[in-house]
Amino acid sequence: MRKDIVIPEVKDVYVAAVLEFNEDFNTEDWNAYIINDGELPLETVIIVSQGYDSKDMTAPMRHTIKLLPAKGYARIEFLEDSVLRLNNFFTVTYFIDDKLYDKRYELPAYSVIEDNRVQLPVMDKQGVLAR
C-alpha cells in the first residue's frame, strides 16, 4: 500500500525570516513568511512551527491560510529573539489541484542574522531562507 502513495515534490514554495521595522514598538523584528513563487495558488495551507535544541523546546504553533495566491506571500509569525538561538522548523502542508504537498523547512540555530540575508522571490525584500 505504501508504494501506492505518491507525495509530489514541493517547488517554488519558501519559508523565510525577514527583518522588519515595527512601528508600534519602534524596533527591528524578525518575522517568518511563507512565499509562493509558483504559477498556481496554494489551498488550505497548514503550517506547524516549533523551536528546539538539546535541552529546550517551544510549544508547537499552528497556522492556517485558506488561500495563498500565485506569486504571493503571507506572514506566518513573529520570531522572538529568544527562539533564534534554537533550531526552528516549519512543517508546511497544502493542496494544489487536489494534490497534497508537504515539506519541512528549517532555520538552524543562530542562522537568522543580517549577514545571512539574500534577495527573496516575490517579496522584493531581503531575508534568510529556511532550508
Q: What is the CATH number of the domain that holds 35?
A: 2.60.40.10
Question: What is the spatial distance between Cα 18 and Cα 127, in angstroms, rounded to a whole number?
Answer: 4
pTM as predicted: 0.92
Question: Each residue of 98-119: pLDDT tens digit?
Answer: 899 999 999 999 999 999 999 9
Asked if pLDDT for residue 6 goes beyond 80, the answer is no
State the average pLDDT over residues 40-51.
97
Question: Each residue of 66-96: pLDDT tens digit?
Answer: 999 999 999 999 999 999 999 999 999 999 9
Task: Quote the domain boundaries for residue 111.
Answer: 2-129
φ/ψ of residue 116, rounded to 5: -95, 5
> What domain count does the chain have?
1
Q: Which DSSP letter does residue 120 get?
A: P
pLDDT of residue 4: 74
The β-bridge relationship of strands 27-36 and 126-129 is unpaired
Closest C-alpha among 76, 129, 123 to residue 106: 129
Cell 519602534 sits on residue: 26
